[in-house]
Structure formats: C-alpha cells, structure tokens
A = this chain, B = another copy of it.
Amino acid sequence: MNFINSLEHAWRQNNSLVCIGLDPDLERLPANLHKADKPIFEFNKGIIDATADLVCAYKPQAAYYAAANAEDQLLETIEYIHKTYPLIPVILDAKRGDIGSTAAMYAREAFSRYQADAVTVNPYLGYDSVEPFLRYAAKGVCILCRTSNPGARDIQDLEINGKKLFQHVAAMVTANWNQNGNALLVVGATYPAELAQVRAIAPNMPFLVPGIGAQGGDVEAAVMNGKTESGTGMIINSSRGIIYASSGEDFAAASRREAEKLRNEINRYR
C-alpha cells in the first residue's frame, strides 16, 4: 500500500487525524527507563502500544536520535511499528534539503535504511533537491511550506508580487512538483489564517500540521481552516503534549489519555 492510501486507511480505521511525534529527549524519559538497555526504544514502544488505535501516523523526529547517538533505536522503533501495526504509516521528520546527488543519499537514508513511509523535506534548494524523494512514488514527501515556529515569518512571509513566499511554495508544489501524487505540505497549526490560505491553493492535498500541544496551536481554528471537504486532509501532530503527559511510570497510559482527548477534540470540528 502506498503512503497516501495507508494514510487514508488509518484516518478511517481509527477515525483519527492525530499523529504522535516520537521526539524522545533522554533528559525527559521516565526514571524507570533510565537503566534500560534501550531506553528510547522502550519509551517509544510504550507509547506506540498505548496509542496505535488512536492515530493516523507516527512521526519520529530524527534530531533526537542523532543527538543521542541512537540511530539503531530509531530503526528499531520504525521496524516495531511496521511489524506490529502494519497499517499505521511512519513519517521520518528529517527536514532534509540538498543538491540532487546528495538528496538521493538522504532519500536512501529515509526510505531504504529506515524504511520510513514518508519524510519531511525543505524546499529552499528548489525542485531538483526534492525530486530525488518524490521519485519514490509509493512514499510520501512532506514539503515545508509555512512552519509553526515564530521565525517562520522571517523568510516564509516575504512578499513576492503580492503573495507570500509560502504561498508560492504551495502553488509550485501543487502545480509542478507533484507529478507522482505523493507530495504533502507542512503547515503549522500556530498560524490558522495561513493554514486557510494554503488550503485555498491546495484543496485536496494532505497537510502535515505541527504546532498543536506544547507549541500552543488552537485545535478548533486549525481544523476549521485546514480540513478538506471530506473532513480529513490533515495529519495533526502533537509530540511533547502527548509523550510527556506524565513523567512517571504511567507515561504510556497518560499518553493514551492525551491522544484520545486530542482525537476527540479534533473530531468535534471535522
């Protein structure tokens, strides 16, 4: 099953637009895991097993594994999801972006080494930096458009012929880059007006939407402005708000409660 199909299946099957970001900061893991042989993997496994019927995707953030010298536990986490919950796709959040020959290596990292179902990429280097990912037609490629952080304004909001840069990116991806039908856009929940502007440009494209939870994005505004006509079209990510819901041994049960709460809140506005 290709990424878009498995995403649509998971939306339906779990009646959920929630994606959980697996961003395991070693300093924030529950004390009972500190002595584990593979603390990051055990932490992820706890959360995954507690939430797999509540989500449409998981999104490990590569930076946390890279900082911790834990590429092996990233791989194990992805393998575990694929083996145990084969219908839930995995998005590797890596935000890669480089010239074509190098981008091909990053695509190999994401899709061959880690077997991710989708990856996030940065559009600053243009089409030939994204094409080596898009070429994997069964995989999803989530292209940064309007990000969720305060600094998003610095570059992405610069105006070109009366439109902002992120609108140009959305238009370019929709009109020219998406020849395999496997492109998605990353649009932050923290800027609901911008989310509506991007939805107007790309009425049917799935969006990866970070910024809910610790970053403070409003669920109602995000869903109302980001959903497609069918009430889907969004992968709404929360990382810290779910995975650190409790810092104790009950972290997995606590993450389930938060994930369920978020799913239900989102579904109220679909």
Contacts and interface: CB of A to CB of B under 8 A. Distances in A.
Interface stretch (A7-15, A92-100, A191-199, A250-258): A92-100
Interface of A: 23, 25, 61, 63-64, 66-67, 69, 71, 95-100, 102-103, 105-106, 108-109, 112-113, 122-130, 144, 147-156, 158-161, 165, 168-169, 172, 210, 215
A227 B50 CA distance: 58
Nearest to A211: B99
A151 B128 contact: yes
A156 B126 contact: yes
Given A67-B108, A67-B113, A113-B69, A126 B149 contact: yes
11 contacts: A61-B98, A63-B96, A97-B97, A100-B149, A126-B147, A126-B150, A126-B152, A128-B149, A158-B160, A158-B165, A159-B160
A105 B168 contact: no
Nearest to A123: B155
A124 B126 contact: no
Nearest to A145: B124
Nearest to A66: B109
B98 A63 contact: yes
A14 to B, nearest CB: 26
A109 B66 CA distance: 6
Contact of A113 (B25, B66, B103): B66
Contacts of A155: 123-126, 165, 168-169
A130 B122 CA distance: 14
A98 B95 contact: yes
A152 B127 CA distance: 8
Contacts of A130: 151
A23 B158 contact: no
A20 B137 CA distance: 34
A255 B149 CA distance: 44
Those 6 A-B pairs whose CB atoms lie nearest each other, nearest first:
A126-B151, A126-B154, A128-B151, A63-B105, A99-B149, A67-B105
Nearest to A113: B69
Contact of A95 (B71, B96, B153): B96
Contacts of A97: 95, 97, 122, 124
Nearest to A107: B67
Contact of A153 (B64, B126, B147): B126
Given A71-B71, A102-B63, A109-B66, A158 B168 contact: yes
